[in-house]
Copies of this chain bind each other. A is one copy, B any other.
């Protein structure tokens, strides 16, 4: 299998270039130039450009999914088999948000790549995303256990809204930042997660989250 050096160099260069400039205007020639390997190496090692992109994306999204499930498992164990709805939602949106947002300096190439992947929807990635449903079903199941009185439809809407807020915050963080002229602190990922969790819980239960929220969405003094 040789040293894998070329393969790894391609993956690194590709991830960085895609993260920096998007899928639209990065060519194989750009990638091999940055990786300092031969043009044919991409097709030799990956088969095609799309398969290279797919490999980059599955690697990263498997990691995120694993992290989500770990958090979910911890939460369920801590709750004796039934996790609180807050902790379930936190496990759902936390890993993604922590991975993709936060201080610029800490934002890894991997994170920037995933942001790109969520902004520019390119065919090989779309195909993979379509298989994400089974993963989400596990969270739906946990939510059902946590909120046995909640209707199925409301459950799915709540799950959907939680993901929507998280995902769109990643996609459009720049717009929110401009719109609020910096008032919305996108570096405070923890606070952002709690906001999204709080809103989602309210959406699901009709009541505010009361405990252990380091940052709450509604912080006004006015009643």
Contact = CB atoms under 8 A, between A and B. Distances in A.
Given A120-B121, A137-B179, A199-B202, A219 B184 contact: no
A163 B198 CA distance: 17
Contacts of A163: 168, 172
B121 A178 contact: no
Interface stretch (A44-52, A62-70, A153-161): A153-161
Main secondary structure of the interface of A (DSSP, over half): helix
A34 interface: no
Contact of A195 (B157, B175, B218, B220): B157
Nearest to A185: B153
A160 B196 CA distance: 11
A158 B151 CA distance: 25
Number of copies of this chain in the oligomer?
A: 2
A164 B157 contact: no
B206 A218 contact: yes
Contact of A156 (B149, B150, B176): B176
Given A167-B168, A199-B202, A202-B199, A183 B152 contact: yes
Interface in A156-192: 156-161, 163-165, 167-169, 172, 175-176, 178-180, 183-185
Contact of A180 (B156, B168, B218): B156
B222 A149 contact: yes
Interface of A: 24, 119-123, 130, 132-133, 136-137, 140, 149-154, 156-161, 163-165, 167-169, 172, 175-176, 178-180, 183-185, 195-196, 198-199, 202-206, 208, 217-222
Given A119-B121, A153-B180, A168-B168, 12 more contacts: A120-B121, A121-B121, A133-B175, A150-B222, A157-B176, A161-B165, A165-B165, A198-B203, A199-B199, A202-B202, A202-B203, A206-B218
6 smallest CB-CB distances across A and B, nearest first, come from: A149-B222, A164-B168, A156-B180, A206-B218, A199-B203, A202-B202
